Structure 1
Amino acid sequence: MNKFKYYFILLLAGVAIVSCNKSDDDDDTVAVPLRDYTVQYNADNDSIIKYLKNNYITVTNSPGTQQDQDVVISKLVAGDGHVSIWDQQDYLLTTRDVYNDDITYKVYYLILREGTGQNPVNTDKVVAAYKGNLLNGTVFDSSAGGIPGKFLLWPYDQAGADGSFTVIDGWSEIFPKFKTGTATTGTDGVITYNDFGAGVMFLPSGLAYYESAKTDIPAYSPLVFSFKLYDLQRLDHDSDGVYDYQEDINNDGYLYDFTDKVRYPNFPETLIDDTDGDGNADFVDFDDDGDGFTTRFELTKPTGATFSGLSSYYPYDPILDNPNTPNTDESEIWGIPRRPTGALADPTKEESATNSKAFLPEDYTDPARLRMHLDKTYPIKKQ
């Protein structure tokens, strides 16, 4: 009996020692270093190209139905007669160069249908349906019941107050290459979309979740998304009265907050939309031309003058009346004007803040005009 007690005590002591050692190991958490972005991108790109060469695509073409432009991607089987995504000629397989993480990604995407409406910029909100899968074919997510959702293309880490979702960087880069469609609302209130843009994007992990594993998505996973772009909402992120897409100075369809040095350590100058060169992109700058007057102030219609429209501010361009509000006339025949080019109030004196020129009709309508919120020389400051 005494010997039994002795061995029993030794057993308990051994368990205690093992338990303590295990606890000590847990406390010594080893931080796994982040993979090099360039090395990981090269591996991802090789995997994506292999995927494109070893799989084929089937697209449902049934306009007016929920299944229109549905996509199935399947693995090639020798002798089955199918042609790889890489070699097929039915849909354009193209690429977009994307600067992020201080490298330039080449992102492959398929254009199933370009669409007939408007292109979003990469800071707009879009209405879209999608399906996502890994390169091994595992589907990790899709639009619930095929019902489209609302997605904020920027900023990346903020959800919208209306329940819209945030997106990964790759979505913001590819959606602007497509156009929206047309919408018809039936008597039952159901909206049917036609002629919408549809495509497939093949994203390296650096433009997806990279080291952050998600449910059913391992870390460092390239992702495939088929998508349908139904509609969009234009946004004005700095609330200066000018929509983001109208602040795309270089007209490339993209706007970037290049103060984000984590994503953009050495941002290419050719992609910058910054009128006054103050280091803030116009779409997040309250004073676009740096003249000391806020953009909202410069867009304010002067008091005492008669202008069309209900707003106290000039629209970017003239706008038509909204046919859905027959009792209200929202039409604006004037857009944001340029510096006035008419006669001086007092021709015997030089132009000044108290002796301004008169606005002519073409100052509000000339397509080539330099709108005054982008003109550092106007308004003229008092001496």
Structure 2
Amino acid sequence: MRINKLLLICLTAFLVFSCDNEDDDNPAPVPPRDRGEVAIEDDQALIDYLSTHFYNYEEFENPAENFDYQIVIDTISGENGDKTPIIDSDKLITKTINNEGVDQQLYILKVREGVGAKPKFADSTLVTYEGQLLTSDVFDGNLKTPVWFSLVAYLARNATGSFAPRGGTVKGFNEGLQEFGGASGFKVKADNTIDWNDDYGIGAVFMPSGLAYFNSAPTVAIPDYSPLIFKINMFRVKKADHDRDGIPSFIEDLDGDGDVFNDDTDGDGLPNHSDSDDDGDGTPTIDEIVINEDGTIIYTDTNSDGTPDYLDPNFFK
């Protein structure tokens, strides 16, 4: 009888401590902070940073023969005490961006605008970049080899036959890159590396956390609610057509709200920029438009009902 009681006490203690451990391993989720409050805090943090830091503007104004055209940011102090702060630079612009219902300030340093085409919000860009915190800690980057970024995500079929998102950037990066043009051209050297014309876009984007990762950063190197800095060199812009249906993805934003994921003409769950048959009539979109030799598009409306064929499920070719 005593043995049974002892077993019962041990079992009860085990269950109690097991429950406690489970609670410790799975703490209650913390709700996100108010976006409006965070936006105010982040804007002040960015203003403070821009007021106390400078970039190597003198090197850009009088470049040495071996100058690498990379932005270097440093604190205004000591022997650098007489430098012009970034916030007073005539190359700094501000954009007000609404995200999740909150207006936020994006600061863009346009050291060199670039002479080539500027990207639309849904295009692809070839850039070198470096991302850092306001503490100067670098969390990501590639300043040597340009990489392609699809500025908006799209849905693509994976190996299992289902659709999964690919690409996309944070809103502040997207909005910032739209202010820069690519190079006018390039030369391929004997070793097959590319030498870009010296007129590509160069700059930096300073963004609040609400235009970055807010409370859901993809790496522990970025704390929650962190304003970010991205230095960028823009080399080339490509007009993106994610579903290869002949219509550039930015045009598939039918309501013009900058969100291509809420435009789904046939309601099949695939937004138009990821759907090769936008109206779901069984005829591919590319067969319901005419693409001229110069790349311009004719949106045919065969039944003259005011809706182009590629968006008209009532027209069958």
TM-score by length of 1: 0.61
Do 1:98 and 1:105's aligned partners in 2 also have CA atoms closer than 8 Å? yes
Equivalent position of 2:144 in the other structure: 146
Aligned to 1:48: 46
Contact 1:337–1:372 (Cα < 8 Å) also in 2: no
- Count of residue pairs brought into register by the alignment: 287
Partner of 2:233: 228
Partner of 1:72: 72
- Aligned partner of 1:57 in structure 2 is 55
The verdict on how the C-alpha distance between 1:156 and 1:374 changes in structure 2, with shifts beyond 3 A counting, is closer
| Alignment match, 2:8 | none
- Larger C-alpha radius of gyration, 1 or 2? 1
The equivalences for 1:334-349 within 5 A come to 336-337=297-298
- Is 1:31 equivalent to 2:44 in the alignment? no
Do 1:86 and 1:93's aligned partners in 2 also have CA atoms closer than 8 Å?
Answer: yes
- 2:170 aligns with one of 156, 162, 168: 168
1:82 counterpart residue number: 83
Give the letter for the 1:77 counterpart: S
Which sections of structure 2, spanning at least 5 residues, go unmatched? 1-13, 160-165
CA distance in 2 between counterparts of 1:296 and 1:157 reads 18
The 2-side partners of 1:96 and 1:287 are apart by 36
SS in structure 2 of the partner of residue 147 of structure 1:
strand
Percent identity reads: 31
Give yes or no for contact 2:115–2:181 (8 Å, CA) kept in 1. Answer: yes
1:257 touches 1:284 (CA, 8 Å); kept in 2?
A: no
In structure 2, relative to structure 1, the CA distance for the partners of 1:97 and 1:160 (3 Å cut) is farther
Counterpart in 1 of 2:293?
A: 318
Confirm or deny that 1:202 pairs with 2:206: yes
In structure 2, what is the Cα distance between the partners aligned to 1:171 and 1:227?
10
| TM-aligned CA distance change 1:283 to 1:187, over 3 Å | same
Instruction: State the SS of the aligned residue for 2:27.
Output: coil
Return the letter of the residue paired with 1:149.
V
In the alignment, which residue of structure 2 is the partner of 1:103? 102
TM-score after normalising by structure 2:
0.73
RMSD across aligned positions (CA): 4.3
Give the 3-state SS of the residue equivalent to 1:40 in structure 2.
Answer: helix
TM-superposed deviation, 1:154: 1.2
Residues 52 and 86, structure 1, Cα contact 8 Å, conserved in 2:
yes
Q: How far 1:111 moved relative to its partner? A: 0.7
- In 2, the alpha carbon distance for the partners of 1:23 and 1:146 equals 48
Contact 1:256/1:281 (8 A) holds in 2: no
Q: Which has the higher strand share?
A: 2
Alpha-carbon separation, structure 2, partners of 1:47 and 1:156: 33
Change (3 A) 1:337 1:25: closer
